[in-house]
Structure 1
Amino acid sequence: MKNIVHITSVHKRNDIRIFLKECVTLAQGGYNVTLVVADGLGDENKSGVRILDAGMPAKGRLGRMLGTTRAVYRCAKKIDADLYHFHDPELIPVGVKLKRVRPSARVVFDSHENYADDIEDKPYIRPVLRPIIAGMYRMYERMAVKRLDAVVAATPSIRAHFERLGVTALDVNNFPFQQEFTTPAVGSDKKYDVAYIGAISEVRGVSQLVEALPTGNSKTLIMAGSIADPNFESRLKSSEGWAQVKFVGQVDRAAIKDLLSSARVAAVTFLPAANHIESQPNKMFEYMSAGLPVIASNFPLWKEIIEGNNCGICVDPLSPQEISRAVDSLVSDPTLASSMGENGRQAVLTKYNWDSEGRKLITFYAHILEGQK
């Protein structure tokens, strides 16, 4: 049985993509899987995966990038693995080092984002420094990933980016499990008009979504997630539309299912940042899986998914008025909303689901491990 080690210095041990999807799927596929984390919660065995805790994460971003990365490296190096699979860009030096000290092992980088584009939108980096830091990251990534065996990418566009660098890459999309969410009936008995789930920030278009609530027909929004920026939180909660928001904070997967069943439509109206245009938000597909019609940003890829499957309406995310009109059109026409919701659910059942992506990952592992001594 091949030994596989997944490594993260940032994500939680129960991260949906890393643990619940990739690690559990690989364990079910016959691999001996260990997940190395740094959260101070101790070691455990869960769902066939051994979780090793490298200790409490260091404080601050710099501390994490220096201290926590060293801690997870030391923990991972103790395991004689056939394949190391790491999940954070700050772990690229760790991956390169593992390849050097364990030359017979395969080393894979799981790129969840286009990180250079993401850096250019980081609010905690001074605007004048963002392109400089992004450029430095691009240069380092280009050199370092060629020393690894492969890249697993969260979207086709990220995969294409690494293929242009001459790196073996596969997109393993972050699609939902086929049957995780129940199918709510879209009708007049719903408590809320709109649902939003996920990180709550300016760049995710939450301000415009809240502004849309009192525009046109008055609407209610159920919102779940965390707000990292206290200044943004203050501005958001002082806006006119906030009175029509039910904010429940961070919730677990079971609560998400209940939350989605209480809404008529769902929204994912990210602003047109560089890292969003070709992204594939997990929440978009979870909304579809739950049978909810989706109000989405009018990016070309998103239009291909949403309008191509006739499962929602794409809008200008910068326009509260356009968002409002889209929501009103679906809330006022339950038959159309129900039809679009069912179209989205069927698209997930047949195409956008983790079952197919998990099989891709298993096949990819078999391929890159083939011939290993």
Structure 2
Amino acid sequence: MKTICVCTSVHRAWDVRIFEKEILTLLKRHRVIYVAPETDSQPPRIPAGLTYIPLKKTHNRLLRFFRVLFVFRQLFSLRDQVVSYHVHDPELSIALAALKILTGKYCIYDVHENHSAAIRDRFWIPLFLRRLFSAAFSIIEKICTPFFDAVVCVSDEIAQLYPNTDKIVLPNYPSKMHYHSIPRFDQKKPYILLAGGLTRVRGVLPAVQAFVMAKLPEEFQLILLGWFESEDLKRTILKILADSDKKNRYQYIPFVPYRESLRYVKESAIGIIPYLDYLNHRFGIPTKIFEFMAAGTPIIYNNLPNYRRLLEPYQLGLSVDCSDIIAISKAMEKLAHNPLRRQKIGEQARQLFLTKFNWEQQENVLLNLYEFPSRCCVFSKVVSCDD
């Protein structure tokens, strides 16, 4: 039994992908030392074989990059206890390359998004600095990547950014453990759910404006579940709703623990994923798409090429231009007024989740990365229109 060090310096300690999926999977065959930000919350369950080492939190976004030395020292101190390092943050790429050089351990870099593109979409950074940081990160990553034994990518589009590197694609499919049961169709509530990061680039503004405009059955409500990127945006969104004729037909629910949020995903009649056409959104598939699929919930989504490749062959919802308020409102009306269509889409989505798009189908891909390192260049496809 091997001991693997998994590290994140930014994500919440009990992050769904890192802890609930990857770490719990690795613990089936290995021990794990988990280095992650300190937290007051407890994990849903304390698994055997896990050692948790908390890191002091840093709330200043820019200071994240200056923590690398501290995190490196923490990881380096574990060198005699572990056979592998598996890190999840872009700023730790330098630390991971240094660990490879100094320890010779098996080093895995886990990529959740196109980091260079994501930096360009960070509006809290001044524009000229965004371009500078994005270019600098691309250079640093290209220098560091050859030192990694493998790269774990969340989508095929991201995997293509690492052409000369051993890699696997490990999509963010939900676990059957979390979706072993869902409400029957007639038990669904008349909710249109927008969940996750409530940000401008993720289309919260046009989605809310479309809800206000849409002619929906009286019982339908909008549920905003998650955190706003700024107080200004929060005030703007809530004012639009409060000043509309639907002021009594929405709920704003701040961030709740993952397992509690699942209740809203499972119960909602319609899901909406209005991510706007920014470069980073063309390199991955939002986890919420798969979660709505698992819940048997039809969705409204942007007509980005990577989303359409996944969803259109199965007709799991309505694809619209999510910068077009009228188009979104019409899509809401079509689904809200057609329960038979919602039921048909939901049943097909649920079946696809149970047979194909679930985490359990991916577990061996991750485990084999550690059992057969020389074979880690084998891809696990996120989507194929020929399937």
CA contact (8 A) 2:4 2:30 kept: yes
The equivalent of 1:125 in structure 2 is 125
The equivalent of 2:87 in structure 1 is 86
* Residue 327 (structure 1) shift: 1.5
Q: Provide the rounded CA distance (Å) in 2 between the counterparts of 1:147 and 1:190.
A: 50
The equivalent of 1:220 in structure 2 is 221
The equivalent of 2:202 in structure 1 is 204
User: Letter of the aligned partner of 2:352 in structure 1?
Assistant: A
* Residue 43 (structure 1) shift: 11
The equivalent of 2:184 in structure 1 is 185
The equivalent of 1:75 in structure 2 is 74
User: Letter of the aligned partner of 1:71 in structure 2?
Assistant: F
C-alpha distance 340-96 of structure 1, shift in aligned 2 (>3 A): same
CA contact (8 A) 1:4 1:85 kept: yes
User: Letter of the aligned partner of 2:237 in structure 1?
Assistant: L
The equivalent of 2:169 in structure 1 is 171
Displaced runs of 4+ in structure 1, greater than 6 A? 42-45
Give yes or no for the alignment of 1:262 onto 2:262.
Answer: no
Give yes or no for the alignment of 1:274 onto 2:279.
Answer: yes
User: Letter of the aligned partner of 2:95 in structure 1?
Assistant: V
C-alpha distance 312-60 of structure 1, shift in aligned 2 (>3 A): same
CA contact (8 A) 1:152 1:170 kept: yes
Q: Provide the rounded CA distance (Å) in 2 between the counterparts of 1:265 and 1:312.
A: 9
Q: Provide the rounded CA distance (Å) in 2 between the counterparts of 1:58 and 1:195.
A: 31
C-alpha distance 184-323 of structure 1, shift in aligned 2 (>3 A): farther
CA contact (8 A) 2:16 2:258 kept: no
Secondary structure at the residue paired with 2:55?
Answer: coil
* CA displacement 1:205-226 (0-9 Å, x = unmatched): 1111111112231452112111
* Residue 179 (structure 1) shift: 4.6
Please give the TM-score of this superposition, normalised by the length of structure 2: 0.89
User: Letter of the aligned partner of 2:295 in structure 1?
Assistant: A
Q: Provide the rounded CA distance (Å) in 2 between the counterparts of 1:210 and 1:49.
A: 45
Comparing 304-313 and 53-62, the one that deviates more: 53-62
Q: Provide the rounded CA distance (Å) in 2 between the counterparts of 1:118 and 1:323.
A: 25
* CA displacement 1:72-91 (0-9 Å, x = unmatched): 32222222211100000010
The equivalent of 1:22 in structure 2 is 22
Equivalent residues in 2 for 1:224-235 (5 A)?
A: 224-235=225-236
* CA displacement 1:320-360 (0-9 Å, x = unmatched): 21111111111111111000011111111122110112111
* Residue 311 (structure 1) shift: 1.2
C-alpha root-mean-square deviation of aligned residues, in Å? 2.1
Q: Select the residue among 306, 315, 324 that pairs with 1:310.
A: 315
The equivalent of 1:36 in structure 2 is 35
* Residue 13 (structure 1) shift: 1.3
Comparing 87-96 and 173-182, the one that deviates more: 173-182
The equivalent of 1:299 in structure 2 is 304
* Residue 317 (structure 1) shift: 0.6
User: Letter of the aligned partner of 1:124 in structure 2?
Assistant: W
The equivalent of 1:116 in structure 2 is 116
* CA displacement 1:28-54 (0-9 Å, x = unmatched): 1x1111111132659999223524334
Give yes or no for the alignment of 1:249 onto 2:249.
Answer: no
Identity of aligned residues (%): 27
CA contact (8 A) 1:153 1:172 kept: yes
User: Letter of the aligned partner of 2:362 in structure 1?
Assistant: E
The equivalent of 2:288 in structure 1 is 283
CA contact (8 A) 2:30 2:49 kept: no
* Residue 256 (structure 1) shift: 2.0
Secondary structure at the residue paired with 1:313?
Answer: strand
The equivalent of 2:335 in structure 1 is 330
Q: Which runs of 5+ in 2 are unaligned?
A: 376-387
User: Letter of the aligned partner of 2:301 in structure 1?
Assistant: A
Q: Provide the rounded CA distance (Å) in 2 between the counterparts of 1:70 and 1:174.
A: 30
User: Letter of the aligned partner of 1:325 in structure 2?
Assistant: K
The equivalent of 2:5 in structure 1 is 5
